[in-house]
Structure 1
Amino acid sequence: MQEQTFVFGKKNYLLMGAGVLLIGIGYLLMAGGGSEDPNVFNPEIFNSRRLTWAPLILLAGLALEIYAIMTPSEKNG
């Protein structure tokens, strides 16, 4: 029977989890801002949280995912 091995090391999986968490936070920050009445405009959709911070956090999460995948794993043997 063969021993089961993982593709990545522990550090890689932790970085991937952190990247997924950042992406989720970015999407949560982007959510909301809609109006209860579709005939009324709500300027809250154009605040800096939705236009600046959320996309930057999303890009940071995606960059962390790429880094986690490209970083060589520290396997024993």
Structure 2
Amino acid sequence: MSDKNKLAFQKINYMIMLVGVVVLILGFFIMTLDTEPYGFGFLGLTLGPLTVLLGFAIEFVAILYRSKENK
């Protein structure tokens, strides 16, 4: 297969991206569960944003990940 027809991402990249999107959605959902006014509780200020940050980190890894057979 020539380099011209080669795709940038493999199936594993898309699987990791899907996990990242699920973690992002989970993080935003966690932020909505906060019962404090204006979301100033633990869920809205700590756990939710950390989960969203983890989701973005997973997306970053998914973009940069290269399988051993593609190196």
Task: Mark the runs of 5 or more structure 1 residues left unpaired by the alignment.
Answer: 35-41
Alignment of 1:1-77 (within 5 A): 6-31=7-32, 43=37, 45-73=39-67
Equivalent pairs counted in the alignment come to: 66
The normalised TM-score by structure 1 is 0.69
Q: 1:46 deviation in Å?
A: 1.6
Q: 1:75 deviation in Å?
A: 5.8
Higher gyration radius (CA): 1
Identity %: 35
Task: Mark the runs of 5 or more structure 2 residues left unpaired by the alignment.
Answer: none
8 Å Cα contact 1:9-1:74 kept in structure 2: no
CA distance in 2, matches of 1:33, 1:8: 37
The normalised TM-score by structure 2 is 0.74
Structure with higher helix content: 2
